[in-house]
Amino acid sequence: MIVKDIINILEGDVICEGDLNQEIKTACGSDMMSDVLAFVKDQSVLLTGLVNPQVVRTAEMMDMACIVFVRGKDPDQSIITLAESRGITLMKTRYRMFTACGLLYTNGLSGGTKV
Amino acid sequence: MSNAIHLHYEVSGEDFTRAGEASGAVKKRLKSLGFNSDAIRRVAIAMYEAEINMVIHADGGYCDVDIYPDRIEILLADHGPGIADVDKAMQEGFSTAPDNVRNLGFGAGMGLPNIKKYTDEMRIETTIGVGTNLYLTVKVA
């Protein structure tokens, strides 16, 4: 799956564009950034309902290519500017967390771990 | 020791949104020096959690980073309140962070356990009312 596929599956609105052809192998859905930081997998996407600059910084530390804000949440300009400078794609989807994760999972994206 | 690259960063305690600036800068530097991505990510995550801790608990501080070919050594020093019970602070889920920090996605009691998980050596020197020094080493495989 690539970032473009995630946009299609989640009917996402792209807020800022990184590499849309970047391959995505795993996903992580959480509002708790320390839980995200406890999970290390390559080429990942972060789904979150949390909207603050630390979401982008967390993704940066984890080498994540893409952040999806669920339930239609809009990041402010400081978040967008930070993501742009890090080359991270931001999008929002109208789906709620559970549904957004489920849609990606049923389309073949895994959590990268069985537990 | 003279062949180390030394970096120094001040961590502001006033602006939570800037927490992670130092970690991001170190990550970038390590990348440009050609370190492997596993080592870079472990340094970045451990340092980021520690930076967040400094901002949440200690009103900021500073980081000293020494980069050697085979390891990265990091000191994170603050003049915060100190850690009353280090063993407890090391337990997953134990937190003394205020509720407003939880709204920001942190304060779940995962900081120090995550730091320990990603580093090869971790040492805490802490004195109540004086501050905390956190020494971290990440070995480069």
The CATH number given to whatever domain includes residue B89 is 3.30.565.10
Domain A3-106 falls in which CATH fold?
3.40.1390
Contact A78, B17 (CB under 8 A): yes
Q: Are A57 and B23 within 8 A, CB to CB?
A: yes
Beta strand pairing call for A44-48 and A66-69: parallel
Q: pLDDT (tens digit, 9 = 90+) per residue, B8-57?
A: 999 999 888 889 999 999 999 999 999 999 999 999 999 999 999 999 99
Domains: count for chain B? 1
The answer, as to whether pTM is greater than 0.90, is yes
A interface residues, B as partner, C-beta within 8 Å: 31-35, 37-38, 40, 48, 50, 52-55, 57-58, 60-63, 78, 86
Structural domain range at position B56: 5-139
Tally of residues, chain B? 141
Q: How far is CA A52 from CA A25, A30, A84, B32, B38, in A?
A: 25, 13, 14, 28, 26
Q: pLDDT (tens digit, 9 = 90+) per residue, A25-63?
A: 999 999 999 889 987 777 799 999 999 999 999 999 999
Q: pLDDT (tens digit, 9 = 90+) per residue, A55-95?
A: 999 999 999 999 999 999 999 999 999 999 999 999 999 99
ipTM score here?
Answer: 0.89
Among B110, B116, B118, the residue to mutate for chain A (most A Cβ within 10 A): B110
